[in-house]
Structure 1
Amino acid sequence: MSTRGAALRSLLAPALLVLPCLAILIGLGAWQLERLAWKQGLIATVEARVHQPAQPAPAEPDWSGVTYDADEYRHVTATGRLHNDKEVQVYALIDAAPDGSGGGPGYWVLTPLVQPDGAAILVNRGFVPLDRKAPATRLEGQVDGPMTITGLLRMPEEEGLFTPENDPAKDTWYTRDPDAIAAAKGLLRVAPFIIDADATPNPGGLPVGGLTKVTFPNRHLEYALTWFGLAATLVGVFAAFAFARLRRPRDDEGTAGLTASE
């Protein structure tokens, strides 16, 4: 067997190791490009929905057809009476405090808005700081009488990996789950979505609405370039390795020739 042939054979095992790794890196880059297209579409959709004129929130007969894709962040309005005695407070950590002084912990105030036909929609009326959790500390905001709420339709909030579980028995809430809240408060005919109220001021200044985040991180192009860059680096390293491995036999043959001529 020639020295060159042996060198080529010695590249087989490294190549079999490199090819799957290269395929994985390219696949991850392509996946991030797909995610980029999805995220850009989501951003465009949300941007369009939040600036559309407010439409009536889906009526009870249409609740079963409400979905994330078709309805999340729709600009909606609903009229009814707030049942303040069934309010819940959901722990929140916001990026910007209501006065613009910075982020901090507090609570979203969720209150059932019971419509004239008896159906209810949970309304996220806005944010209150930790020391204003108790309704008694913000009595002016406990509005009574018919009112119209305008805001963004939001679907139930999913638990994150590090989000504590809701504890309805202790009235402790970490996620906005309409079904769980309705069951805990004895509410019937509750919509499977929530309305995040807009920034219309509430009496007494609390809760503070209009804090819904409608911006989304979009680093998928950066991630895609990273994966493709790693793939290119892997190709370059293997090429350098192969070049060195194939060059060695030629050097050895040249050295042997010089030795023989001497």
Structure 2
Amino acid sequence: MNETRTVTSEANGTRSNAARPPLWLTILSLTAIALLIALGVWQIERRAWKLALIDRVEQRVHAPAQPIPSPAAWPTVSAANDEYRHVSVSGRFLHDRETLAQAVTEEGPGYWVLTPLRRDDGTLVLVNRGFVPSDRRDASTRWDGNPQGQVEITGLLRVTEPKGGFLRNNVPEHNRWYSRDVAAIATARGLDHVAPFFIDADARSQSGSGPIGGLTVISFPNNHLIYALTWFALAFMLAGRLFVTFGGGLFRRKEPWSGFAHEAAGGLDAVARRTGSDAGTIGEPT
């Protein structure tokens, strides 16, 4: 009987241990759960940051136009503090130094017309006057839209776009531009004392057959909540799987141990557990 009890205990222990995953797999799973939760929290924080950014930009865009930063403040101009500010600037356009950068807008494919504006203090500001389709790329097709005297421009302050567009680099030596890289354009056109930002002119700055202004697209994708829920869901599913795996060994109902053991028929210590008219004898242990 002692042997039977030992065998039963060993069988239960083996079954419990077999249900438990290896230690290294458990540690890896717990680490993955912690990482997924951390990613979800990070996305929640990113969402709060994005909502605050959208609110700041909305306030800047709809605020009254203010003069552009002075040359002394140019080194401190940044996207976080100044992007999309509603600004105004006055001066004279240098139409012979304009640059065309490829663009795709609601008007179709074409070019942004970037023209230096010389201010009264001699400094220059690059102005994105707006969009022209490919058939009006040549400046001679829009002379009547190029003001020659003093002008007042209002629009949105934009930070420079260095290096190029998506998978396409600017090629200044061939006059191919895919982004509005202020420093590179200034160098290619031989311009000095240029502001490190440019101005997206609004629709009111358009004249005659000149470029179409006011096409700035302000869009900030905000999918952080979806990302956060995805990370949290993955963490929950992994934790649930780990719980079920451990539960199979820790919470499985064990069969109660019985003091009676089945013996082969005819044995000296035979135990009969049947009842009824054909029940055998119950032998006392010796």
TM-score range, shorter chain: 0.7 to 0.9
Does 1:254 pair with 2:258?
no
Q: In the alignment, which of 107, 110, 115 is matched to residue 106 of structure 1?
A: 110
Which shows bigger deviation, 133-142 or 77-86?
133-142
Identity of aligned residues (%): 50
- The structure number with the bigger radius of gyration is 2
> Structure 1 length normalisation: TM-score?
0.87
Does 1:28 pair with 2:39?
yes
Q: Aligned equivalents of 1:200 and 1:52: distance in 2? A: 16
Which shows bigger deviation, 127-136 or 47-56?
127-136
Q: Aligned equivalents of 2:39 and 2:165: distance in 1? A: 23
Unaligned runs of 5+ in 2: 1-9, 263-272, 274-286
AA matched with 1:254: E
Deviation at 1:13, TM superposition (A): 3.2
Deviation at 1:161, TM superposition (A): 7.8
Q: 2:94 — aligned with what?
A: 83
Q: 1:101 — aligned with what?
A: none
Aligned length: 252
> Structure 2 length normalisation: TM-score?
0.80
Q: 2:85 — aligned with what?
A: 74
Runs of 4+ in 1 over 6 A off after TM superposition: none
1:111-151: CA deviation from partner (whole Å, max 9, x where unpaired): 00101111000001111122222212222222211101000
CA contact (8 A) 2:163 2:170 kept: no
AA matched with 2:121: D
CA contact (8 A) 1:110 1:123 kept: yes
AA matched with 2:255: G
1:157-198: CA deviation from partner (whole Å, max 9, x where unpaired): 245783311111111111111111000000011000001101
3-state DSSP class of the match of 1:233?
helix
Q: Aligned equivalents of 1:22 and 1:161: distance in 2? A: 38
Does 1:232 pair with 2:232?
no
CA contact (8 A) 1:163 1:174 kept: no
Q: 2:191 — aligned with what?
A: 187
Given the superposition, is the C-alpha separation of residues 161 and 226 from structure 1 closer, same or farther in structure 2, using an over 3 Å criterion?
Answer: farther
Q: Aligned equivalents of 1:223 and 1:205: distance in 2? A: 46
Q: 1:143 — aligned with what?
A: 147
AA matched with 1:226: T
Q: In the alignment, which of 48, 52, 63 is matched to residue 59 of structure 2?
A: 48
CA contact (8 A) 1:91 1:107 kept: yes
Does 1:204 pair with 2:208?
yes
Q: 1:126 — aligned with what?
A: 130
Q: Aligned equivalents of 1:24 and 1:137: distance in 2? A: 59
CA contact (8 A) 1:7 1:246 kept: no
Deviation at 1:30, TM superposition (A): 1.1
CA contact (8 A) 2:154 2:205 kept: no
Q: Aligned equivalents of 2:103 and 2:86: distance in 1? A: 22
Q: 1:93 — aligned with what?
A: 104
- Structure number with higher helix proportion: 1
CA contact (8 A) 1:90 1:175 kept: yes
Q: Aligned equivalents of 2:205 and 2:116: distance in 1? A: 18
